[in-house]
Amino acid sequence: MKCALVTGGSRGIGKAIALTIAKDHGYHILVNYASNQTAADDTVKSIKEAGGSAEAIQFRVEDFEEVQTKLNNWLEKNPQSIIEVIVNNAGITKDGLLMMMEEKDWNSVVDTSLKGMFNVTRTLIQPLLRNRYGRIVNVASLSGLKGVPGQMNYSAAKGGMIAATKALAQEIAKRKITVNAVAPGFIATDMTSELPEEELKHQVPMNRFGEAQEVADLVSFLVSPKAAYITGEVININGGIYS
């Protein structure tokens, strides 16, 4: 059974990605979540209702030992399964100016996006190398490319993710494993629901926020065989706000 792991896959962009790659490629989807089991179960239910296969798997991506324990236990229980797609999507925001930012707000944001990407990818990289095939897609952000005031922690986390994408791509390209990042701008999700959309959309040349499905369709292309010669890239999906 060929599988794809989507971290933070219970809601928003992660949910759209999980549903789309299940439909487009027939992967058994591991829907990772940290605490919201109800949302994760709902994503699994939606995938199954669409004719796909999925299960929820709980772990906090920022905890290396927990990631290893949960994923290695799953691999031991499913010896005939191959996780050949990793989508590092888990992320949180704790916005604030640096002069008022608490250390815990820096650590939690960086640990979830950047350290979480390391923890998950490090745990699963050996099977990918042995299999000599794989797709890794890291969900970064416009903030990681241009920096956003009030989001120094988030910008640092996503900027680090982008640099790590480029480095890892070169390390494992000979094993037919691609590593790419997508960098969404303003996307209509729970994370952006409190932003003043009517005001901010005028900063976007397309004059609208993007949809989670549009990001999911891009990720689906990157995990497909059609993207076999694309690696180490950061693809913007932001309506032209940073082009």
Q: Where are the domains of the chain?
A: 2-237
As a whole number of angstroms, the distance between CA 93 and CA 199 comes to 20
Whole-number pLDDT of residue 201: 82
Mean pLDDT, range 107-125, rounded to an integer: 98
pLDDT value of residue 243 = 60
Name the catalytic one among 133, 154, 229, 242: 154
In this structure, which amino acid lies at residue 218?
A: L
pLDDT category of residue 95 using cuts at 50, 70 and 90: very high
Q: Is 27 a catalytic residue?
A: no
Q: Which CATH superfamily is domain 2-237 in?
A: NAD(P)-binding Rossmann-like Domain (3.40.50.720)
In the predicted structure, residue 10 carries a pLDDT above the cut 70: yes
Cα separation values, 30 from 14, 18, 70, 191, Å: 11, 8, 12, 22
pLDDT confidence of residue 189: 79
What mean pLDDT, rounded, does the chain reach?
95
Measured in degrees and rounded to the nearest 5, phi and psi for residue 238 equal -145, 15
pLDDT of residue 213: 97
Tens digits of residue pLDDT in 45-93: 999 999 999 999 999 999 999 999 999 999 999 999 999 999 999 999 9
Res 199: pLDDT: 78
Give per-residue pLDDT as tens, 125-161: 999 999 999 999 999 999 999 999 999 999 999 999 9
- pLDDT tens string 21-42: 999 999 999 999 999 999 999 9
Cα separation, 143 vs 133, in Å, equals 30
| Residue 227 in this model has a pLDDT that exceeds 70 | yes
**Between 208 and 179, residue with greater pLDDT:** 179
pLDDT higher than threshold 70 for residue 193: no
Asked if 112 contacts 157 with a C-beta cutoff of 8 angstroms, the reply is yes
| Residues facing 188 on adjacent strands | 211
Q: Which two three-digit tokens encode residue 200?
A: 């901010």
DSSP string covering the chain = -EEEEETTTTSHHHHHHHHHHHHHH-PEEEEEESS-HHHHHHHHHHHHHTT-EEEEEE--TT-HHHHHHHHHHHHHH-TT-EEEEEEE-------B-GGG--HHHHHHHHIIIIIHHHHHHHHHHHHHHHHT-EEEEEE--HHHHH--TTBHHHHHHHHHHHHHHHHHHHHHGGGTEEEEEEEE-SEESGGGTTS-HHHHGGGSTTSS-EEHHHHHHHHHHHTSGGGTT--S-EEEESTTS--
pTM of the model: 0.95
Pair 146, 99: CB distance under 8 Å: no
| pLDDT above 80 for 242 | no
